[in-house]
Amino acid sequence: MINKLATPKWLLPVLVLISITASAQTPKMDWVSKVGAKLFPASKKIFSVNEYGAVSDTVTVNTKAIQKAIDDCAAKGGGIVTFKPGTYVSGSIFVKTNVVLQIDKGVLILGSQNFNDYPDINTRVAGLEMVWPAALINLIDVKNAALTGKGIVNARGKFCWDKYWTMRKEYDAKGLRWIVDYDVKRVRTVLVQNSENITVKDLTFKNAGFWTVQLLYSTKVTVDGVVIKNNEDGSGPSTDGIDVDSSTWVLIQNCDIDCNDDNFCLKAGRDWDGLRVNRPTAYVVIRKSVARRGAGLVTLGSETSGGIHHILATELYAKNTDNGLRVKSAFTRGGVVEDIYFQNSVLDSVRNVFQFNLNWYPAYSYSELPKGYVYDSIPAHWKSMLQKVTPAEKGIPAAKNFYINNITATHAKIVFDAVGYQQSTLKNFVFTNSTVSASVLGTMEYIEGWKYNNFTLSIDKNVPPPKVKGIENEERLK
């Protein structure tokens, strides 16, 4: 039985020092060395897009010329597709098997600002399979391919941001907040979908119209040395950094992300549709990387339906990021988030060091058709969103077995924003060898079996005590 407790006296001291010997030990992670791409295209044959008619300026849309060079390269056994230094406008292009699309230093790719230059494809966005525009650069149904170079890809996504805010205002007024993100159909910058042995390396991406790099239904993928700057042309909504979406054996390293939503994000499908697909995100390493402005250094969810497990996030640095380690889900998502390792990282001036919420953003998370709409006449993706999870218990998510070690957080506002559920407590979170200073301890609801070993907190004495309830088998913060 879960007890609801009043704020206990042991949470009130200005300086809370925890030095408890935890019996639980971090499990072995023998899978870590197996992540990432294991192949890279071998052919060194060069195919210059300029020889296929690409023109360097800020007006000509070069999609057909670039695609022709890629297709010819693939047809001749693979190689490297290159650009002469300059600026090239393009719509959606599709990298093929055994091809390296190499955007070198001195090359700037500008995304077309015409939605017609991004053809519709079958894909998944925000946990829902549906028809959606292709990304600017796509690697779909391919093996052994790469996107590399020291150049810049500027998606110029403001045309998507403006469309979103216009529609958002209209949809909010109609009680349709839950579906506007799916109806807007904004353009991703890079999509790796249903592919294997893929490398994305060294490029700088700017001003995404929507998510910047999405790895969907793919395996053995490396993202290395990527820089993401989504704040140059203003503040765009939903401009995630890197989203690992129902993908496995992924290595992300040496990246630097400044965006306006989740920086490094792991997803696995949403609600009824995500439970139908039932594909996990698993065996992912995120290391030696930086998160600047954004919603979360490492975020798990909110699309958790297929499950997220065996995740290692290590040697990371967050500066002015909203959240450090973040879990978000909803009571219709389902799925289990477990075996998560967050370690050897520094957080500076974050809002929440740890945010774990199984009932995140209800206005977005729960779908209900307003009066006046006829169900038979609404779009197919609306029906998918409205499809109820049965039995309802299948929609209750779980988060357990988190191992948090050697974390230093300074100038934080809140240590814990931890909200479980009476039917699904946040279970077995182990905090070891860490130091956190913050204004307030925060909220801890429905947690179970949390353990602390040499976990030191410095809390501002001039703020109200935290809200705490639903604690069972909780080692007291002494």
Res 349: pLDDT: 97
**Cα 263 to the center of its chain, rounded Å:** 6
pLDDT tens digit at each of 478 positions of the chain: 232 322 233 232 222 333 333 334 567 899 999 999 999 999 999 999 999 999 999 999 999 999 999 999 999 999 999 999 999 999 999 999 999 999 999 999 999 999 999 999 999 999 999 999 999 999 999 999 999 999 999 999 999 999 999 999 999 999 999 999 999 999 999 999 999 999 999 999 999 999 999 999 999 999 999 999 998 777 799 999 999 999 999 999 999 999 989 999 999 999 999 999 999 999 999 999 999 999 999 999 999 999 999 999 999 999 999 999 999 999 999 999 999 999 999 999 999 999 999 999 998 999 999 999 999 999 999 999 999 999 999 999 999 999 999 999 999 999 999 999 999 999 999 999 999 999 999 999 999 999 999 999 999 866 665 555 544 333 333 3
> What's residue 464's pLDDT?
61
Q: Which residues contact 211 (CB under 8 A, 6 or more apart)?
A: 125, 188, 189, 238, 239, 240, 243
Q: 3-state class of 269 per DSSP?
A: coil
Q: Tell me how far apart the alpha carbons of residues 221 and 143 are, in angstroms, rounded to a whole number.
A: 10
Calculate the alpha carbon distances from 407 to 26, 257, 301, 343 in Å.
15, 20, 21, 6
Report pLDDT for 235: 77
Q: Which residue, among 137, 139, 134, 162, has the nearest Cα to 151 in the 3D structure?
A: 137
Is omega for the bond preceding 384 within 30 degrees of 0, making it cis?
no
Q: Helix or strand or coil: residue 183? A: helix
So what's the pLDDT on residue 13?
Answer: 29
Give the separation between CA 208 and CA 53, rounded to whole angstroms: 26
Contacts of 287 (CB under 8 A, 6+ apart): 252, 253, 312, 313, 314, 315, 316
- Please answer whether residues 109 and 88 qualify as being in contact, where contact means their C-beta atoms are separated by less than 8 angstroms: yes
Task: Please report the pLDDT score of residue 469 as a whole number.
Answer: 54
Query: Alpha helices of 331-478 — where are they, by DSSP H?
Result: 362-365, 380-386
Structure token digits, residue 20: 């408890």
User: In 3-state terms, what secondary structure has residue 261?
Assistant: coil
The vertex-280 CA angle with 134 and 286, nearest 5°, equals: 80
Continuous segment of H or E residues that includes residue 177: helix 177-184
The secondary structure of the chain in percent helix, strand, coil, rounded to multiples of 5, reads: 15, 45, 40
pLDDT given for residue 231 in this prediction: 81
Phi and psi at residue 459, to the nearest 5°: -115, 135
Domain coordinates in residue numbering, the chain: 9-472
Quick one: which of 168, 106, 101, 104 has its CA closest to 135?
101
Cα–Cα distance measured from residue 80 to residue 88, given in angstroms and rounded to the nearest whole number: 17
Cβ(443)–Cβ(401) below 8 Å: no
Distance CA 34, CA 30 (A): 8
**DSSP state letter for 161:** H
Quickly name the fold that domain 9-472 has: Pectate Lyase C-like (2.160.20)
